[in-house]
Chains A and B, each alone.
Chain A
């Protein structure tokens, strides 16, 4: 089973600032990585797939990068609606499909 590790667990950022979230895989997942956003009381929403492709309707301030075992989600200028929990997920080796433990982006 591929273990996904996200860091930091919590990130405190001011609106308008850049947020950078990391995700590390226990072995290479190539570019088979997705990012999701989950707001309180809501279902997750797909942001990024194939490590760097934005999903339909996702604003350009969200970008993904990386391959192999190291990945990054960057939010270039945080808006109020971006404060949420973010999860990475690998789909290179499965079953099982595995998620990171989540990273909370909160207002500083």
Chain B
């Protein structure tokens, strides 16, 4: 069974930093690209970032480019999102989501349950 479990969401002040993690199991983690998708409370879904299976290619939404960094450790079946210079508008549930492909983005066939990041003073 495919499982994705996010962690690391907390309350952080504007301008602060945070690192989210996603632990994967039930599939060959290093065979697939993985995404971060976020959802502000009561709002719609917003794609944040994608990393290829080998970590060599990364992509970002304009809203987070230059502030967030996606990475992965295939030896630990883990995905990360380093979030710097956080803004109140970054407040959201952050989901890791598996792509059915290896290097390019498509749809999201499995999702974690999400972790809540709250940016507030």
Does A32 interact with chain B (Cβ within 8 Å)?
A: yes
Q: Is the CB of A95 within 8 A of B44?
A: no
Q: Is the CB of B44 within 8 A of A46?
A: no
Give the A-B contact count at a CB cut-off of 8 A.
Answer: 59
Query: Which chain A residues lie closer than 8 Å to B62 at the CB level?
Result: 96
Chain A residues with a Cβ closer than 8 Å to the other chain, count: 22
Within 8 A of A (CB), among B30-83: 35, 44-47, 50, 59-62
Q: Is the CB of A91 within 8 A of B106?
A: yes
With beta carbons under 8 angstroms apart, the residue of B35, B108, B112, B114 that contacts A34 is B108
Prevailing SS type, chain A contact patch: loop
Q: How far apart are A26's CB and chain B's nearest CB, in angstroms? A: 16
Q: With the chains together, A13 CA to B64 CA distance in Å?
A: 38
Query: Which chain A residues lie closer than 8 Å to B46 at the CB level?
Result: 99
Chain B residues with a Cβ closer than 8 Å to the other chain, count: 22
Does B111 interact with chain A (Cβ within 8 Å)?
A: yes
Query: Which chain B residues lie closer than 8 Å to A44 at the CB level?
Result: 45, 95, 108, 111
Query: Which chain B residues lie closer than 8 Å to A55 at the CB level?
Result: 109
Within 8 A of B (CB), among A16-53: 32, 34, 36, 42-46, 49
Query: Which chain B residues lie closer than 8 Å to A91 at the CB level?
Result: 105-107
Query: Which chain A residues lie closer than 8 Å to B85 at the CB level?
Result: none
Query: Which chain A residues lie closer than 8 Å to B112 at the CB level?
Result: 43
Query: Which chain A residues lie closer than 8 Å to B61 at the CB level?
Result: 95-96
